[in-house]
Every structure is written in structure tokens, then in C-alpha cells.
């Protein structure tokens, strides 16, 4: 029973429409997970590659990814560790770390502001998606065919939504 002069604590709340995430939001770090029909042997190429790297390199990569996602990415000054790619890879980002024996380690990422959850509504936070990774010898470059493979994985990722195929 309410005391004299008190108002009911129940108020009508109008539900707010869910809007899609913004580039200035903090991002969730996720790994692209391939659908079984696309490649049952390599379900998460970025995570698989990252796990094959030396512990010291993995630790640096995790630290960079965490800093970028929390900054968020459009506010993170890369310091050479987080770089926007150019040319055919415009729209992609690279986490760049050098490891033992001057070997280069690269993790290829996309930023996703269009991801949907199982209900078809926008996810709460945008995604920093780790798609794939490569390691290469000192002062070498990846060939066009390697970049084409990475881009194909990005297309595969973008083609599956509701929800995105991530872990």
C-alpha cells in the first residue's frame, strides 16, 4: 500500500528503437568463423593463424587489438601497429607486429557497423573482426594472390549476416 502523497513507482516507458552502432563506439573483438559448407577444415582462419605465432607476438597483438577496440579504432593513433590499408585493400586494417628474427606478423581486420543479432536487430557494439593473418620474412611483401585470398574471406564474412558468423 502506498503511503499518503506518494506517487506510483510504475511509469510508462516508451521503448527506444535500436540504432546501429557508431564508429565512435567501443568495439567488440571477434573472429570470423567460416561456415561448415565453405571450409570445414579451417573454421576460424585469423584465430588459427594467431595461435601459431610465438607467445611474445601473440601478447603484443592482443594488446594492440584491445587498445584499438577500446579507443575506438577511428580514434586510435596507430603507432605503426594499427594501419589502414590502401589500394585494393581499402577498408581493411592491419595489426602489424615484428617478432623474433625480424619476422613480420600481420593480422587482417575489418570494422563492422552492420552486424545483426539472431533477431535481425543491430548488435550493441560494432565489431573489430579478425579475418585472417600472415607471417612473412623480413623486408618481404605479400603477393597479390595472398591479398586476394584475404579479400575473399572478407566477402564471405560480409555475405553472412543475421547473425554474422563470428566467435
Q: Is residue 1's pLDDT more than 50?
A: no
Alpha helix stretches (DSSP H) within the chain = 45-51, 55-70, 144-159
- Upstream peptide bond of 163 is cis (omega within 30 degrees of 0): yes
pLDDT at 20: 76
Q: What is the per-residue pLDDT across 95-105, written as a single tens digit (0 to 9) for each?
A: 999 999 899 99
Look at residue 114 and tell me whether its pLDDT is greater than 60. yes
Q: What is the 3-state secondary structure (H, E, C) of 78-107?
A: CCCCEEECCHHHCCCEEEEEECHHHCEEEE
pLDDT digits (tens, 9 = 90+) for 148-167: 999 999 999 999 887 888 98
Q: Where are the domains of the chain?
A: 28-159
What is the band of 40 on the pLDDT scale with cuts at 50, 70, 90? Answer: confident
Contact between residue 68 and residue 97 where contact means Cβ atoms under 8 Å apart: no
- Closest by Cα among 133, 132, 135, 63 to 99: 135
Q: Which of 53, 25, 21, 47 is nearest to 34 (CA)?
A: 47
pLDDT digits (tens, 9 = 90+) for 5-20: 555 556 666 655 567 7
* Higher pLDDT, residue 75 or 12: 75
Amino acid at each position: 500500500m502506498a503511503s499518503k502523497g506518494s506517487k506510483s513507482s510504475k511509469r510508462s516507458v516508451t521503448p527506444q528503437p535500436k540504432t546501429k552502432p557508431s564508429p565512435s563506439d567501443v568495439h567488440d573483438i571477434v573472429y570470423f568463423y567460416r561456415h561448415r559448407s565453405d571450409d570445414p577444415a579451417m573454421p576460424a582462419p585469423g584465430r588459427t593463424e594467431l595461435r601459431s605465432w610465438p607467445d611474445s607476438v601473440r601478447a603484443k597483438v592482443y594488446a594492440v587489438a584491445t587498445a584499438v577496440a577500446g579507443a575506438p579504432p577511428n580514434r586510435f593513433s596507430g603507432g605503426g601497429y594499427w594501419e589502414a590499408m590502401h589500394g585494393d585493400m581499402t577498408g581493411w586494417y592491419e595489426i602489424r607486429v615484428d617478432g623474433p628474427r625480424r619476422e613480420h606478423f600481420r593480422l587482417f581486420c575489418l570494422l563492422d557497423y552492420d552486424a545483426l543479432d539472431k533477431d535481425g536487430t543491430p548488435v550493441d557494439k560494432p565489431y573489430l573482426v579478425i579475418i585472417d593473418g600472415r607471417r612473412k620474412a623480413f623486408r618481404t611483401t605479400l603477393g597479390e594472390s595472398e591479398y586476394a585470398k584475404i579479400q575473399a574471406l572478407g566477402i564471405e564474412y560480409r555475405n553472412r549476416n543475421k547473425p554474422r558468423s563470428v566467435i
